[in-house]
Structure 1
């Protein structure tokens, strides 16, 4: 019996020998792949400084671009606020003006406009975003050519990321990108992880404000719930299931049990349906109990 218990204990330690956490951060650099006409190029950019005034924010960026046929990295600087204006200057002073937002204009918007129309450049990239459409061009002297991007390419330099970082029983670290697994879900926190024969199961909690405009519908209303992930043995996501527990937008209320924090009740006002749930962190599950 003692031998059996010892084996069971070892199996339990192995099953729980992995750990996990959620890490949220904002990426501030990116490599973008594009074509100047038919010529493929790679553009690397990183944020240099942030400039904010009232509700407006701009960034100066620096980096390089390289033609696919060459290893030479050509220095570029620019202005970023979702759209991008990039310059190749041959003199240091012109580069510094862009990076430090040096302009005699009175306000931030006017300064940005002034810098985006800088002259004396050797090359200029103009990348404007309209919703999901990108209109872009490259120019040098009297030459002007369209700048093309692949449909799945992004020109976002700043990108919010949330990663599930898992340390396996063997000490190896694995990363799972959480944003985009379930549309709109964000601000995750780790609840539990459980080893399975086929891989692992992970339970995450999320909670965020649906509408930042406090005067609008569901102003400052909370969206919350749980996401269950199934991972294979290589820690790749095979399934993502969402259980929403609170939503002003969907008329869903939640009540937590004051005596047991692992019990909660959801009230679907739209469909007049009450459901009780239990949170099991050890098994990484949210279970319906009625």
Structure 2
């Protein structure tokens, strides 16, 4: 079974196990124990496999259910990110930046535009037990926004991506004016290396 299972239960011990993911054995044993749990009032299973049925059960009845596809564009949760520079407030969500952790490395403001150098970091794999579960992927984003708060340039520079087999070596650790990395891509049989240089004062990628 592959999909989402929702339980309505008064079993506090099981609820605590779910919240803390506190099950003995390997991860697949944990999932098996959840799937075979019977002490519930109601259970809904929503499958992402077209060969499996969506089901509802109360331990006495088992019913097939259908999902109203008209609701697929309704978002229950929406994340907003705002950046305040001086008196200007910039809604970063308008620029489709999906990274949760963004750090301002440097900024340059003129009468015509604002240049921003942002650093992003994210877990190499949300599943800590999976491949790259302990890794941290990161990179930089150059944003140029005009005086009307319109995005006129977007450039993303990937530095580390564990599952993408991209790793780096910092070549300028003590130089705050320059970020420079040797990037190695091992995703193919032959490794490909290149050097990335970012000027943090002008906020430009030096090619």
> TM-score range, shorter-chain basis?
0.5 to 0.7
Range that drifts further, 277-286 or 204-213:
277-286
Establish whether residue 260 from structure 1 lines up as the match of residue 178 from structure 2: no
Counterparts in 2 of 1:174 and 1:212: CA distance versus 1, 3 Å: closer
Q: CA deviation at 1:252?
A: 0.9
Q: 1:193 aligns with which of 93, 99, 107?
A: 107
**If the length of structure 1 is used for normalisation, what is the TM-score?**
0.42
| Alignment check: 8 A CA contact 2:101 2:121 kept | yes
Query: For 2:83, which of 165, 176, 180 is the aligned residue?
Result: 165
Where has structure 1 moved over 4 Å in runs of 4 or more? 128-131, 147-151
Higher relative contact order (CA 8 A, sep 6+): 1
Cα distance between partner residues in 1 of 2:119 and 2:90: 20
How far residue 202 of structure 1 moved from its aligned partner, in angstroms, is 1.4
Match of 2:195 among 270, 276, 284: 276
Counterpart in 1 of 2:91?
A: 175
- TM-score (normalised: structure 2): 0.57
Contact 1:176–1:236 under 8 Å retained in 2: no
Shift in CA distance, 267/284, structure 1 to aligned 2, threshold 3 Å: same
Aligned length: 154
- CA-CA distance at 1:205 after TM superposition: 0.5
The structure-2 alpha-carbon separation of the partners of 1:268 and 1:172, relative to structure 1 and needing over 3 Å to count, comes to: closer
Deviations 1:109-138 (A, max 9, x none): 948x59xxxxxxxxxxxxx9776xxxxxxx
Distance change >3 Å, CA 175–CA 234, structure 1 → 2: same
Partner SS for 1:177 = helix
Aligned to 1:26: none
Q: CA RMSD in A?
A: 3.7
Distance 1:234 1:130 in 2: 45
- Point out the structure with max Rg over C-alpha: 1
The answer for the alignment partner of 2:6 in structure 1 is: none
Unpaired runs of at least 5, structure 1: 1-51, 58-108, 115-127, 132-146
Question: Unaligned regions of 5+ residues in structure 2, if any?
Answer: 1-14, 21-38, 49-67
Cα 1:129–1:191, aligned 2, differ >3 Å: closer, same or farther?
farther
1:276 to partner: Cα distance: 2.3
Distance in 2, Cα, partners of 1:179 & 1:249: 25
